[in-house]
């Protein structure tokens, strides 16, 4: 069962999964290891990170000096294909003309989805994050708690390989002993912030990231993840031995040919294919989930992007993992006499309660970082440290004007400079004229790496103003109706950003930083909805069918054999990045699904 074309589809699969990223890949891995026959449908083309990544290329190798193009909207060296906020032939719309009420939607049309592109920050949601209404009187409580997901966080971390340290933080849970890989040493700038951060209540600790700092323990981990399943253990052990630890020399966003960092193809799809239980169908644009007269899902209708022809994949079970809003789009477009308002939408909640990380940022020139001696500061291709949220006592007393909190991310040092690295040197040097020649080189060396930016990512609870619906007129190039977004920031998010801006400024100044002009209006400082690329929700899980789309197993209330495995079931956004939680939920859901298949309940 390999990567196939539409003509090679089997008559029926046990499970058809739409999407090959974090949720789809994790689901395929878990199911195939247990002998389930699976089809993964991917809207993009196949991609081989070992041969197609630009991890060891010099900046001078990039066309257009590495600038973004319609195909690569983060620049030439970014490991993304046919991806971005605007994809030719695949529009979406916004209902309102004002930017603050618009949502920007990133799509990633390639095998492995967004796992090729993400920063690999892998923080666990904490107990407070699953019960915001109980703790803060806002939002919705999830129908599960941290204890339900904790064993799956451990499993995912052992499978994908996550480095970090246990710090005993409230609401930023520790991993079980022996699960985390060793954290890399902090860079000079990170140590400098760790020294000065306590002046303003900022605790700097090692971050958790899905990057190997040493070879995985292929002799013991497989038995922990697949007890009693010798074949799965062997396949996983072989897969783990193909991955090499990071050698601290390239940006993870370029892709990792040695498979040191996690992406879905490396960790999930390769071993899943080795089981012989997986077919992968690339270039298949899902159009709708089909249902039978009994109201059960029968499969997925798709457009073959290579031929333009319509196809259909049949399955006993359908799992949507296309990314939260693409799954919403599929549900809303899957209309029938039984489901006139969209599939699994008897509650009217499909498309509702979209949330995203609440982000703002600020930067400063740090004089202490000038003229640093030359040394290797590339590290693990991203942050080694971060500032977690620790002001829970103030949250409990409702002193801050917002629920939850935020964490701070930053990367310091002098990694490989880009072709435009000398930009702004004139202004930072204080020169009143354009620099050139020897003076320009001296000033560029002096100032390179002395600018420090800090970004905050915070909690967002759902509100009635953030939702997606089907645009009544606009369709994509395959004739599939597109989404129309509505977006609204509430006072809670604006108060959060106001706090972020002041805290970041205090931290930068504690380091001796010369802060650039700040934006005092939080409505202008806040990043536009969707631009953080952490959007979740739209098919939230809940304890009651009337108020949600799925139950605690990410199984739709209305259609027993239809499940979700991406961020759509999230009932809120925590002050953590969502990908680790997507995978933990997907593994938990897939375990439940295997049990239901064995009992003949599906």
Domain ranges of the chain: 167-206+358-414+449-459+490-525
Query: pLDDT at position 422, please?
Result: 61
**Region of 248 on the Ramachandran plot (φ > 0 left; ψ -120 to 50 alpha; else beta):** left
Tokens, residue 541:
């899980």
Query: pLDDT at position 437, please?
Result: 78
Tokens, residue 234:
């062997």
Q: Which contiguous run of DSSP H or E holds residue 151?
A: helix 146-160
In terms of Cβ atoms closer than 10 Å to its own Cβ (0-12, 13-18, 19+), residue 430 is: exposed
CA distance 232 to 275: 8
Measured between alpha carbons, how far is residue 151 from residues 155, 224, 272 in Å? 6, 11, 21
Query: pLDDT at position 445, please?
Result: 79
pLDDT tens-digit readout, 174-224: 999 999 999 999 999 999 999 999 999 999 999 999 999 999 999 999 999
3-state secondary structure of 517: coil
Query: pLDDT at position 60, please?
Result: 82
Tokens, residue 68:
């973004």
Tokens, residue 319:
């799992």
CA distance 54 to 312: 36
CA distance 75 to 80: 9
- Other Cβ atoms less than 10 A from the Cβ of 62: the count is 17
Query: pLDDT at position 419, please?
Result: 61
Query: pLDDT at position 420, please?
Result: 64
Residue with tokens 């291709």: 381
CA distance 19 to 326: 9
Query: pLDDT at position 53, please?
Result: 87
- Residue among 73, 80, 86, 69 at smallest CA distance from 110: 80
Query: pLDDT at position 433, please?
Result: 64
pLDDT tens-digit readout, 405-447: 999 999 887 777 766 666 666 666 666 566 777 877 777 778 7
Query: pLDDT at position 516, please?
Result: 78
Query: pLDDT at position 168, please?
Result: 97
Query: pLDDT at position 1, please?
Result: 55
Measured between alpha carbons, how far is residue 221 from residues 153, 232, 240, 288 in Å? 14, 11, 10, 39
- Residue among 260, 262, 266 at smallest CA distance from 378: 260
Tokens, residue 512:
């001796």
Cβ neighbours of residue 147 closer than 8 Å, sequence gap 6 or more:
none
CB burial string 155-183: b at 16+ within 10 A, e below: bbbbbbbbbbebeeeebbbebeeebbbeb
State which residues of the chain have pLDDT below 70: 1, 418-434
List, in sequence order, every beta strand (DSSP E) within 369-511. 385-387, 406-410, 451-458, 467-475, 481-486
- Residue among 302, 270, 329 at smallest CA distance from 25: 270
Residue with tokens 């999964």: 17
């Amino acid at each position: 069962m390999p990567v196939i074309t539409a003509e090679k589809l089997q008559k029926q699969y046990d499970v058809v999964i739409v999407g090959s990223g974090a949720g789809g890949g994790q689901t395929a891995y878990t199911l195939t290891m247990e002998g389930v026959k699976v089809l993964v449908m991917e809207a993009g083309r196949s991609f081989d990170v070992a041969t197609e990544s630009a991890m060891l290329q010099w900046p001078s190798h990039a066309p257009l000096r590495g600038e973004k193009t319609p195909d690569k909207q983060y620049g030439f060296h970014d490991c993304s294909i046919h991806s971005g906020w605007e994809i030719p032939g695949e529009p979406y719309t916004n209902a309102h003309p004002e930017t603050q009420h618009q949502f920007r939607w990133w799509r990633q049309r390639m095998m492995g989805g967004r796992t090729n592109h993400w920063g690999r920050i892998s923080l666990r949601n904490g107990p407070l994050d699953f019960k915001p209404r109980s703790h803060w009187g806002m939002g919705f409580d999830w129908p599960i708690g941290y204890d339900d997901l904790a064993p799956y966080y451990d499993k995912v971390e052992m499978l994908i390989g996550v480095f970090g340290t246990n710090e005993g933080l409230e609401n930023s849970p520790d991993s079980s002993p022996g699960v985390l890989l060793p954290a890399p040493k902090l860079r000079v700038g990170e140590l400098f912030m760790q020294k000065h951060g306590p002046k303003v209540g900022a605790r700097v600790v090692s971050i958790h990231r899905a990057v190997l700092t040493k070879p995985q323990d292929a002799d013991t981990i497989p038995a922990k993840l697949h007890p009693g399943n010798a074949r799965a253990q062997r396949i996983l052990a072989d897969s783990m031995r193909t991955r090499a630890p990071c050698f601290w020399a390239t940006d993870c966003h370029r892709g990792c040919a040695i498979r040191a960092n996690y992406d879905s193809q490396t960790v999930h799809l390769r071993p899943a294919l080795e089981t012989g239980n997986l077919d992968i169908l690339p270039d298949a644009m899902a159009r709708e989930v089909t249902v039978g007269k009994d109201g059960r899902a029968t499969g997925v209708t798709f457009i073959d992007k290579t031929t333009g022809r319509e196809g259909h994949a049949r399955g006993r079970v359908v799992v949507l993992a296309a990314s939260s809003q693409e799954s919403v789009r599929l549900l809303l477009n899957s209309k029938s006499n039984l489901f006139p308002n969209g599939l699994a939408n008897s509650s009217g909640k499909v498309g509702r309660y979209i949330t995203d990380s609440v982000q703002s940022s600020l930067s400063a020139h740090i004089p202490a970082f000038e003229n640093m001696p030359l040394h290797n500061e590339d590290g693990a291709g991203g942050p080694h440290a971060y500032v977690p949220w620790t002001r829970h006592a103030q949250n409990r007393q409702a002193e801050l004007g917002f629920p939850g909190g935020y964490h701070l991310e930053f990367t310091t040092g002098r990694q490989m400079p880009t072709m435009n690295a000398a930009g702004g040197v004139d202004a930072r040097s204080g020169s009143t004229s354009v620099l050139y020649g020897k003076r320009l080189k001296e000033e560029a060396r002096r100032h390179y790496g002395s600018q420090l930016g800090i970004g905050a990512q915070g909690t967002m609870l759902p509100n009635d103003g953030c939702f997606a619906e089907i645009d009544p007129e606009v369709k994509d190039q395959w004739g599939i109706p597109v989404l129309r977004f509505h977006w609204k920031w509430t006072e809670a998010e604006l108060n959060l950003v106001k706090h972020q801006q002041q805290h970041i400024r205090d931290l930068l100044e504690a380091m001796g930083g010369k802060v650039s002009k700040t934006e005092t209006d939080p409505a202008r400082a806040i990043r536009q909805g969707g631009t953080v690329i952490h959007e979740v929700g739209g098919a939230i899980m809940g304890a009651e069918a009337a108020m949600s789309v799925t139950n605690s197993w990410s199984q739709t209330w209305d259609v027993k054999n239809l499940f979700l495995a991406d961020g759509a079931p999230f009932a809120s956004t925590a002050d953590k990045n969502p990908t680790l939680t997507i995978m933990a939920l997907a593994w938990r859901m897939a375990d439940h699904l295997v049990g239901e298949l064995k009992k003949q309940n599906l």
